[in-house]
Amino acid sequence: MVINNTNLNVYIGEIKMIRPGIPFGTGVHNLNVDWNIEYTKKEDEIIEYICTITTIGDIPIKFAIHGYLDSENPVKNIEERYNEISPLILDRCTETMINILNSTKTTTVTIKTVPEVYLSCVSGEL
């Protein structure tokens, strides 16, 4: 991520998602979100962040990413630019949430029955 010629590394340490127990399948789902990013400066000059996203609508989801920021510039320069950094972190977190959500949606798997002849041949070899 580059902000006005400042390289900023955004690391993800933990991801937490609580999705509804009700199955949802393919189709279009409207997701309005409420989000928040909290920054914490640690003793060793590292800035940690927690980005939380809560969806409102068809699929209620609670999602959070805990990570940290690393820059070649002093921490003070990063702190002064949270208003530039927050939308970039939110975009990345939203994209990650959607990718995980797509990976956990309900899918149908077809299980084919195995002929008895094949089963007797295989079991005799064991």
Give pLDDT tens digits for 62-108. Answer: 999 999 988 776 667 777 888 888 999 999 999 998 888 877 777 77
Is pLDDT of 4 > 70? no
Mean pLDDT of 38-45: 84
Alpha carbons 72 and 52: distance in angstroms, whole number: 26
Alpha carbons 16 and 62: distance in angstroms, whole number: 8
Per-residue pLDDT tens digits for 107-116: 777 888 766 6
Taken in order of first residue, the domains within the chain and their CATH numbers are 2-125 (3.10.420)
Q: What is the pTM of this model?
A: 0.72
| pLDDT band per the 50, 70, 90 thresholds, residue 2 | very low
- Angstrom CA distances, 122 to 13, 16, 115, 117, 118, stand at 46, 43, 11, 9, 6
